[in-house]
Amino acid sequence: MKKELVNLSKIISYALRHKPDKYNLILDGEGWVLTSELLTSIKTKHPNLVWATSESIADIIDLSDKSRFELSEYSIRALYGHSIPEKIIKTPETPPYYLYHGTTENVIDIIMKNGLQPMRRQYVHLSVDIDTAVIVGKRRTRKPIILKINTKEANRSNIKFYKGNDSIWLSEAIPSEFITLEEDKI
């Protein structure tokens, strides 16, 4: 992806996931905002992005290997990663039997005692496979620890899961009883 589109993508992520107020945006309950409003706000805050259009946003979505955004006819939203105070409404879905989470060695004892928490995000982020969990975990450490979440049992205990995209799932906090260490996967 071109450097200009990568920069625009980062700004869109920041605006939709973390600071819509800084961009004078009001997200609806599901995180949607008019694409025209987003573009106007971005161009006002970043005059060097005057070239940005709806087509630019569509290119970001088409060229990205990560599905971070969703477009409708007139609106856009971030699919996951929100840290805004207003909870983004998600519809629970049935996840794969197991999901995975990449983490660091220095927090594993806390997780195994207290479970996985959303921390500064609205939801816990989980991966559909070990390879994706390793990639996510490597953002924080060279040797991530991979956790395996038994979603079937968690679901029976009323833990809700939400599809973020084809490789990322979201959930409420997950108690440690549904988490095991995935051995020898790195």
Query: Which tops the pLDDT comparison, 64 or 129?
Result: 129
Q: What is the pLDDT of residues 92-145, one digit of tens each?
A: 999 999 999 999 999 999 999 999 999 888 999 999 999 999 998 998 899 999
pLDDT, tens digit (0-9, with 9 covering 90-100), for 35-62: 999 999 999 999 999 999 999 999 999 8
Asked whether this chain's domains 3-78 and 98-182 adopt the same fold, the reply is: no
- Domain topology for 98-182: ADP-ribosylation fold (3.20.170)
**Mean pLDDT of the residues in the chain:** 92
What pLDDT sits at residue 10? 94
Q: Is residue 164 within 8 Å of residue 99, measured between CB atoms?
A: no
Q: What is the mean pLDDT of residues 86-91?
A: 90
The structure tokens listed for 103 are 């983490």
Domain ranges of the chain: 3-78, 98-182
pTM: 0.82
Task: Give 143's Cβ-side CA count (13 Å radius).
Answer: 5
> What class has domain 3-78?
mainly alpha
